[in-house]
Structure 1
Amino acid sequence: MSKINELVETLVTPILDDLDLELVEVEFAKEGSNWFLRVFIDKEAGVDIEECGIVSERLSEKLDELDPIQQNYFLEVSSPGAERPLKKERDFLKAIGKNVYIKTYEPIDGMKEFEGILESYDGITLGVAVKIKTRKKNVTIPKEKVAKARLAVSFS
């Protein structure tokens, strides 16, 4: 994690705690010629635009005070959306029984991408029920081999 991400996480955490919100992810990225500082927040019932506005305003004040980022950037505070990333232990535990997309660093059973129902997570491995054509296959994925994981919207 970059120093900017760590600093923003430190600054935004007390703001979120005060509002009973959860930090999902901080991202500082260049897109084209512009820099974006994105802060994704959530809570059990989902966040609304008013909560995003409050967090944005309070965080912006803190960032203006410290001025830790040299580049000009756009601050965006939003919900992670329906395809929320799974990063922390509790994210995986809350996702049990839900449809997920997982990409691995190296192939497992000849595949690097899996979409299916997360059936189990023990902190070390993920058990995913993947549908391949008309049959269901249970795949065990070591957590250390997960490059990317997120909830996945299913249209079936």
Structure 2
Amino acid sequence: MEPERPHHEGLEARIADAIAPTIEHMGYELVRVQVSGKERPVVQIMADRVDEAPFRVEDCEAISHAVGAVLDVEDPIKGEWTLEVSSAGIDRPLTRTKDWNRFAGHLASLELVVPQDGRKRFRGIALGADAETVRLRLEDGTDASFPRGNLRRAKLVLTDALIAATAAAPPPGGAEDADGAAPDGQPYSQRN
């Protein structure tokens, strides 16, 4: 079965299409590609392990080397750029149906492209998703559905409950735990 890939547009979509098969073959799933900056763009790659084991610094390094090689060949960005690879972190972006369903019951925020009910930003308890719609229980207690195609971004909100539910959270103050796990959301960088 083909893994669900997050929706991207433009340059980010071209990069995602180029790198996803490589990282999937390595046992990872693409969570998000984001390109920022103009003078020397930064290509940020967020990934998860398919086996849901803790994401380690070595995972970032392996993905960085493989993705860097693919992007050197594909050459989607002219000139110099920087590559950053990280885990999705505890307060991860919600980009795939499985993310919404896995973290149902936790606080999430989202921003829409086109306003719904006069608003672009919403916050509430994630109730899950399907291929077309994501659902939140809003802070006023009402349930709302949002078309996936209208999401600009969505992410989990860092709460004590989320921290407690995230078994792979690293110990405070260290880049790695005793087993070598990477800190959630901390990038491994490579310059190209």
**TM-score, length-normalised on structure 2?**
0.65
Deviation at residue 54 of structure 1 after TM alignment: 0.5
Please, which of 121, 139, 149 is the counterpart of residue 129 of structure 2? 121
Larger RCO: 1 or 2 (CA < 8 Å, sep 6+): 2
Query: Could you report, residue by residue, the CA deviation over 1:6-51 in whole angstroms, capped at 9, with x for unpaired residues?
Result: 33223322322222211011122216x3311111111333421110
Unaligned runs of 5+ in 1: none
**CA distance in structure 1 between the partners assigned to 2:154 and 2:77 by the alignment:** 29
**CA distance in structure 1 between the partners assigned to 2:103 and 2:159 by the alignment:** 14
Return the index of the structure with the highest Cα Rg.
1
Number of aligned residues: 149
Deviation at residue 155 of structure 1 after TM alignment: 4.7
Please, which of 127, 138, 145 is the counterpart of residue 142 of structure 2? 138
**Aligned twin of 1:153:** 158
AA matched with 1:61: A
AA matched with 2:19: V
Please, which of 110, 126, 144 is the counterpart of residue 102 of structure 1? 110
Unaligned runs of 5+ in 2: 1-8, 162-192
> Root-mean-square deviation (CA), in Å?
2.5
Alignment of 1:34-73 (within 5 A): 34-43=40-49, 44-73=52-81
> Which sits farther off after the overlay, 37-46 or 116-125?
116-125
Q: Which structure shows the bigger proportion of residues in strand conformation?
A: 1
**TM-score, length-normalised on structure 1?**
0.78
Distance 1:68 1:92, change over 3 A: same
Q: Calculate percent identity across the aligned residue pairs.
A: 24
